[in-house]
Amino acid sequence: MIARGIEKIIEFLFPPACPVCGAPVSLHGELCADCFGCFEWIDSPKCSRCGYPMVFAPNGAAVCPACARDEFGLEWLRSACRYDEMSRSVMLSFKHGGRIKYARFMARAMIWALRDVPADCDIVMPVPLARPRLIHRTYNQATLLARPIAHAMNVPLDVDSVRRRHRPDMGHMTPRQRKENIRGVFTVARPDRVRGRKILLVDDVYTSGATLSELRRVLLRAGAKSVCGVTFCRVVRTV
């Protein structure tokens, strides 16, 4: 109640401005038209499973070559936009530069990206950060995105059923190295909370899929019913 009141006062003192460039906008957390136009939003047609953008998808049910080969590691995935210069710079300042005010428009874009998948998840779960990293960064960027998504879907946010051990950064690794490096880092601390549940994982970026696939593996082993995902942006490579 108090928080809501304070939010209202702040909104009154600071009129709505584009979080990226500061231009006036009509709603708080909204992008201005120019900034909006700088992102490559992923619209239809796309792969019905992994959300990969496609040139042609008859009747909306087509799958991309990777999904046809059954190489995709989740039930389904949706991403709001492509990973490019614009989304990369926004994400880096969101993740490492403390620009948490970006969370609002990023989460809103992710909710938009979920418009064509079944809204039947039981839990929204941000990809956990290892403790040393969380202490250093002070916040988990995935949790900031997951909270408004859980709120919009009216399901609980789960931030502590899974723990993550610290491993060195995966920045300059090949997909195979990433897969090996991530193996075994997640532990389900509360299997009772995930058993029989449909879980939606939330992360800022989908790169090789190694993190989300590994998380899905441990969740399914702990009894989860299904595991799908949503990210703000994704790397789009030829598949």
Q: Which is it for strands 226-234 and 198-206: parallel, antiparallel or unpaired?
A: parallel
Q: Say whether residue 18 binds Zn ion (CB under 5 A).
A: yes
202 binds Zn ion (CB under 5 A): no
Q: Which is nearer to Zn ion, 49 or 193 (CB)?
A: 49
Q: Does 104 bind Zn ion (CB under 5 A)?
A: no
Rule CB under 5 A: which of 107-136 touch Zn ion? Answer: none
Indicate left, alpha or beta for 29 from its phi (over 0: left) and psi (-120 to 50: alpha).
left
Closer to Zn ion by CB, 88 or 133: give it.
88
Q: How far is the C-alpha of 207 from the C-alpha of 226, rounded, in Å? A: 21
Per-residue contact flags (x/-) with Zn ion for residues 49 to 68, judged by CB under 5 A? xx-x-----------x--x-
Q: How many helices (H) and strands (E) does the chain have?
A: 10, 6
The window from 1-9, 43-51, 85-93, 95-103 that contacts Zn ion (CB under 5 A) reads 43-51
Task: State the number of CA atoms in the 13 A half-sphere of 231 facing the CB.
Answer: 26
User: CB under 5 A: which stretch of 28-36, 54-62, 76-84, 100-108 binds Zn ion?
Assistant: 28-36
The contacts of residue 237 (CB under 8 Å, 6+ apart) are none
At 117, give phi and psi (nearest 5°): -115, 155
Q: Which is nearer to Zn ion, 197 or 234 (CB)?
A: 234
Contact positions vs Zn ion (CB under 5 A): 18, 20-21, 23, 32, 35, 47, 49-50, 52, 64, 67
